[in-house]
Structures are given as C-alpha cells and as structure tokens.
Amino acid sequence: MNNESGGRTGVFVVLLGAGIVVATLVVGAALAPDIGVSAASFGGAAPENQTLVGSQGGGPGLHSYGSVYLVSNDTVSWRLSDSNSYFDVTRLRDGRILAVFADGGYDDCGPYAAPCSRTGYRIVDPEHEGGPATVEEWSFPVRTVRNSEVHDVEPLDSGEMLVADMEHERVFTVRDGEVTWQWNASSYYDAPADPTKVDWLHINDVDVIGENRYLVSVRNANQLLVVERGSGVVDVINEDTDGDGTGDPTLLRHQHNPQWLGEGAVLVADSGNHRIVELHENESGVWEVAWTVESASGVDLLWPRDADRLPNGNTLVTDSANRRILEVNRTGSAIWSRETDYIPYEADRLPVGELVGAPRSDGSEIVATGTIDVPVVSPLLTTLRSSYPLPYWFTEGYLVSILFGLGTMGVGVGLFVRDVVSWSPRRRE
C-alpha cells in the first residue's frame, strides 16, 4: 500500500470514529426512557402540586443561566433568571421568596479585584409589577464563584438570617447587614492557612432543628454536625473512626440538604453515592441505613442534591445531574416527575416547604436499587456531569462508546498526518 492510499485509510478511520460517536448519540437519544411523569397520567393519584425550584444553571462550571421558578403541576408558572446561579429557595410567610445566589460583575469587591463575584441571598417578589423581580439583596464578595458560594440561608423567628458560608467555612446569623453570631468550623476541624484559597470543607447546608440548635452539612468531611449556640458541636452523624478527618464514605459521600426527621432520624441527599438515604441511630449510637432509593422511572439517580419528606410520606427528590425533579412514594416509584432545562439545586413542595419532624420510614418499605459503579468510568462521568449538563440518558456505556469513537478518530488523524508528511517530499521529487 502506497502513502496516498494510506492517507485515504486515515480519512476512512476518522470517518469511522465520527460515525461511532454520532451513532452513539442518536441511539442513546432514541432509546432514552421518558423521565417526565405527569400527575394526570395517574388518574388523580397524585394531587395537584406547586414546586419551587432553585436552579444552579448550566454552562462550563455550571455558573450560567441560574434561575428561580415555580412549577404548577407540569408547567412553569413564573421564572426569574437574573443570576449566574441560584441554590436554596424558601417561600416566606408573606409569599415572597428567599433565594440563595451567586453572581458576577460586581464593582464592590472588598479585598478582591473588580469585577468580582458576590454571594448571599435575595428576596424575590413573584407578584412584582411587571413580573418576578429581586427586591432585596444581601451579599459579600468572594475570591472565586466556584466552591465559595453560599448554598443555604434560613429565616429565623428572631428576624435574623442563618447562613451556611462556604467561603470562610462557618455558620453565622445576620440582621440588617450585621453578623450577630457565628460558629467557625476551624474550632472543630484542622484548618488550612487560608480557607478561601482551597475547597476545604464545603459547608453547604444549615437547618434549624430546635431552639439555638442547628444541623450543619459538612460536605467534604462526609459528616452532619449538630451545632448549638454557646456549646459548639454536640453531635456528629458519620463520625471519623480512622483518623483521616472524614466520615465513612459508604454511609455518606459529599452529601447535600439533610432533613431532620426527629431525634435519631435524618433524610439525606447522598450525592456522591447517587442515592437518597434515610439514616436512623440505633441503640448503640451508630447511624444505619433505614431506607434508600437509587433509581426511578428506569433511570439511576445521579448526583441528587435535595430530598424532602412530604407530609404524605412521599419524598421530593432533586436529581441534579439528570436534570429532573421527582416525587417518589415509599417504595421508590415515581408518581410525578419533571425534566428541567438546566441543573436544579433544590426544590420545595409548597406550601409546606422542608418540614422538621416529617414522617420517617419504619424500615418495612421496598428499597429501590440502582446499578453498580464502573471503576474509572463512573467517576469520570460524575466529573463531567458536575461541570456540564449532559443528557440524563448518557450513562457509562455511552461514555465508553464515545471515548472509543474519539480514540478511533485520533488514530485516523495520526495515520493521515503520517502518510501526508511522508508522501509530500516524494511528490516534490
């Protein structure tokens, strides 16, 4: 075979690889299960609902196209898209929305160069003249929008706001722009020299579970802490037993948005393990799995970041990387589901929101399980999903096929370049 035919071989191999990539995408989209489950499809079994959603957004790093919106049954009633990202959302007693956000383009940057990003909370009025609008904001500048955002703010009866601060790894209260109390994670964990320069603990949630008593999610430690004002840490869920500074990753891994069901019971979006899990404390003080769901409607959960137990015993799940919000019953079956445009962070079912003391599992329900992780491929897929909103049906098998196709294209390009380079001098002769 001469060099000219070798060049044609390279072109053929490139086209073959491209065909594999295209065929994979076409077949995947064609065979994808429908993840949208309308309430009407159950003949009234699922009641009418309103679901408030905080959307982190999409694009590189998932810091574009953030929004807050209300889903009434199966349609969006209103939407506000005025920030790079939104996170936790709570409807206040006056009907306005407390929305946690991170946004760029600010000139008031404190110690950082302008323009900079700021994070904090906004008050959104969905009935504002002219449409939903931000009517109040409290925020502070951060070094970078990635891994520095406030993810959760809770209103207190005192009029203060309770804030989970990832930038400085602390929990604090603020009133009229002034910090009135704070707990620093460095009082419990060994801190780096400057927590703002590394993704140290990634504190991503705080909830009121009693008077001056807060449940704090420390994502990178795989732990939930109970913190009391004046006393500090009084309890730990998933304690460090081997001295590495983190809890058991098979119990919790990079969790989000825990819901306190009462003494000895908590519901958690176990994000890194791609499941929703309810943990109960046994008589020995050890926390164990009492209920879990790992898939619904034929699709495994992927990086879920919120789970709320509803008064009827069902669970509202924010399945972030699959871009869907769904309600599952006690056996893990989806009775309502809606696909989202971008990556959702958190959802509340109105009017109840997230309840403290919601129904707990008695351990007798069927446990829904998903597939087993594939070494190397599953972590790679999770990394890709955390940086870009891939289609929900894009599983490990499709990723392997795409990588094989791209590799084939690379081989073809190499053959073509080699043969063209070696052929050119001969043609000049």
The pLDDT value given to residue 424: 58
* Whether 233 contacts 188, CB under 8 Å: yes
Q: Which of 21-30, 232-241, 398-407 has the highest mean pLDDT?
A: 232-241
CA 125/CA 406 separation, integer angstroms: 48
The pLDDT value given to residue 323: 94
CA 206/CA 90 separation, integer angstroms: 13
The pLDDT value given to residue 178: 95
Q: Per residue in 338-359, pLDDT tens?
A: 999 999 999 999 999 999 999 9
The pLDDT value given to residue 43: 47
CA 179/CA 160 separation, integer angstroms: 9
Q: Per residue in 278-293, pLDDT tens?
A: 999 999 999 999 999 9
User: Higher-confidence residue: 18 or 213?
Assistant: 213
Cis peptide before 351 (omega within 30 of 0): yes
Give helix 396-428 / helix 377-387 axis angle, nearest 10°.
90
User: What's the angle, vertex CA 60, arms to CA 54 and CA 63, rounded to 5?
Assistant: 30
Does the structure show a pLDDT above 60 at 40? no
Mean pLDDT of 321-344: 94
User: Higher-confidence residue: 362 or 45?
Assistant: 362
CA 186/CA 256 separation, integer angstroms: 20
- pTM for this structure? 0.81
The pLDDT value given to residue 409: 83
Q: Per residue in 176-220, pLDDT tens?
A: 999 999 999 999 999 999 999 999 999 999 999 999 999 999 999
Report phi then psi at 303, rounded to 5. Answer: 55, 50
Order of all β-strands in the sheet with 97-106: 85-91, 97-106, 116-125, 133-142
Q: DSSP per residue over 176-201, as a string?
A: TTEEEEEEEGGGTSPPPS-GGGS--S
Tell me if residue 404 falls in helix, strand or coil.
Answer: helix
